[in-house]
Amino acid sequence: MSVLDGLRPRLIAVDLDGTLVPPSGDVPDGVAEAIERVQSEGAIVVAATGRSLSTTGYVARNAGMHQFAVVSNGAMLVTVDPESVVAARTFDPTDLLAELTGLMPQATFAVERPDGLFLTTRHFVDRGVALDVREVPYAALIEQPAVRVIVRSEDHVAEDIGTLVAHLDMHSIAFGMTDVAWLDVGIKGVTKATGLQVLCARLGIDVADVLAIGDSMNDIEMLEWAGHSVAMAHARPDIRALADHVTTGGPGQGVIEVLDALYR
């Protein structure tokens, strides 16, 4: 018997990239139908992602999720239909940016504001981050509180950039992206799990009634926190070890597999 048999979670939190959608970014066939079926049984399915609101909303809607989402690695609780910000955790990025600039003077620096807008010192295109990235002078980055700071450097591989900033007293995640290293820095302790806690408090849902599905480093806290957790088949061994269940299918198909097991 599967550990999923008989479960009826009230909230199902689904990571997007690598979990719900493959690298193409398209929602696989059958996902929206599976989510609609689960929600017709009374559950709420929400995206929990490192993406911003602008790159989450259209994916969530295409997948049949029209209520809430946790975005920006937990820093923002939003609605996706219509798109709006419900709550945001912000900080003054002035000192952090000054230190990062001293460490990596040639890098590109960007901030995400609580309204979802991205401002950057050098324009870049990344649909996994934001649809609207505006190039501005450095001084504009520190004019308002930020949700997170993003650093992109062609001079550092992912391992180097992670080591370089390991001393920072902030919650941070480093990603390697082909010819560019990417660092995502936010408030220490703010994760997808804390964002989901805010949502659960709003909806009156206990953590025991939450099921989370993920595949990556920024899903670890969410998988540890949720009453029930599922890791994708391709996740690292240490992430799979955290989960109550591991899928056999890949992005999208693994989610359908879980939803079908919950609500046959």
Q: What is the CATH number of the domain that holds 29?
A: 3.40.50.1000
Beta-carbon contacts of 201 under 8 Å, excluding residues fewer than 6 positions away, are none
User: Cβ distance 227 to 213 under 8 Å?
Assistant: no
Domain endpoint, select from 186, 219, 240: 186
- Confidence at residue 244, expressed as pLDDT on a 0 to 100 scale: 96
User: Does a structural domain hold residue 98?
Assistant: yes
- Confidence at residue 212, expressed as pLDDT on a 0 to 100 scale: 98
Angle between helices 253-262 and 31-40 (to 10 degrees): 20
- Confidence at residue 177, expressed as pLDDT on a 0 to 100 scale: 58
**Distance from CA of residue 222 to its chain's centroid?**
10
Domain endpoint, select from 131, 157, 186: 186
Regarding whether 123 and 47 lie in a shared domain, the answer is no
Q: For residue 158, with 0-12 CB atoms within 10 Å meaning exposed, 13-18 middle and 19 or more buried, which class applies?
A: middle
Regarding whether 108 and 235 lie in a shared domain, the answer is no
- Confidence at residue 158, expressed as pLDDT on a 0 to 100 scale: 64
Dist. CA 13–CA 10, nearest whole Å? 10
Regarding whether 83 and 113 lie in a shared domain, the answer is no
What are the phi and psi torsion angles at 169 (to 5°)? -85, 55
Regarding whether 46 and 156 lie in a shared domain, the answer is no
Regarding whether 228 and 163 lie in a shared domain, the answer is no
User: Cβ distance 51 to 173 under 8 Å?
Assistant: no
User: Does a structural domain hold residue 5?
Assistant: no
User: Does a structural domain hold residue 51?
Assistant: yes
Regarding whether 113 and 61 lie in a shared domain, the answer is no
Residue 174 lies in domain: 94-186
Domain endpoint, select from 128, 160, 186: 186
Q: Residue 25 — left, alpha, or beta (φ > 0 → left; ψ -120 to 50 → alpha)?
A: left
User: Does a structural domain hold residue 6?
Assistant: no
User: Does a structural domain hold residue 39?
Assistant: yes
User: Does a structural domain hold residue 231?
Assistant: yes
User: Does a structural domain hold residue 35?
Assistant: yes
Dist. CA 37–CA 59, nearest whole Å? 18
Regarding whether 133 and 54 lie in a shared domain, the answer is no
Total-model pTM:
0.91
- Confidence at residue 2, expressed as pLDDT on a 0 to 100 scale: 72
**Distance from CA of residue 101 to its chain's centroid?**
25
Regarding whether 195 and 178 lie in a shared domain, the answer is no
User: Does a structural domain hold residue 4?
Assistant: no
Dist. CA 142–CA 65, nearest whole Å? 34
Domain total in the chain: 2
Beta-carbon contacts of 106 under 8 Å, excluding residues fewer than 6 positions away, are 153, 154, 155
Regarding whether 75 and 158 lie in a shared domain, the answer is no
Regarding whether 201 and 84 lie in a shared domain, the answer is yes
C-alpha Rg value of the chain to the nearest Å: 18
Intervals of the chain under pLDDT 70 = 1, 127-128, 157-159, 169-179
Regarding whether 258 and 180 lie in a shared domain, the answer is no
- Confidence at residue 126, expressed as pLDDT on a 0 to 100 scale: 72
- Roughly how many angstroms between the first and final C-alpha of the chain, as a whole number? 14
Regarding whether 98 and 83 lie in a shared domain, the answer is no
Beta-carbon contacts of 50 under 8 Å, excluding residues fewer than 6 positions away, are 17, 71, 72, 73, 173, 184, 218
